[in-house]
Structure 1
């Protein structure tokens, strides 16, 4: 009886291994694309390539993508935002100096306690950002 039970257990283990192998093979086959899916994907990629090539031809041909009026409007808006940034930064600096003028606390600790971060603390420099527009204007005049 024990021998028969051991044989049956061994047979069961072999069947489990075989099932695991077959399931693994089924999963790998299911992860592969069918021929129809491959054709669909190929058609989609060919269409994308065609669109990109057409766009590249336009760009190489010197087509203006942004009209001068739109460009000017964006530059004006950018300039206004930089001015507002400067003004608000100056207002904050004046208020901060007035508040902390006679403060016995360490200013760095007080700033952290309030959760205040300067532009420089997060890696932003107003001067470098405002120079972007100036650099653009110099390039435009030089051309």
Structure 2
């Protein structure tokens, strides 16, 4: 910095122990208003060009990303082969299931459906009882229902995204 001061390219001011360096304004020539306006126009044109190029670049990047994420012809052919094999094995399995003689009898099916209905009714009954108990507790509880459930450690069917089946 001292060398630049000696060459006259920058100036130095001393304030106590601190030194401040700044450009010597005398070395710059005066610029007319017309030149400034021309420079502003040039800057605006260049900014528009930069925006257009940036938009084009973003579009090309999106297209490249899409192409990179798609399967190649070889990968597509192998995927088709795998799917055809899976389809044929599923058809064979379906054929075996249809031809099997160990189907569930209507009596067994009816028994399972009755048990299912009993369990669903019991589930609904217990859920209603638990809900009634919580509502009774919440009448005198100073916090919200959500805070109560968190504090007690209760997980509801809705929290677990479970739907009670219809009977």
Higher relative contact order (CA 8 A, sep 6+): 1
Structure 2 length normalisation: TM-score?
Answer: 0.41
Q: Report the structure, 1 or 2, having the larger strand content.
A: 2
Larger radius of gyration: 2
Structure 1 length normalisation: TM-score?
Answer: 0.47
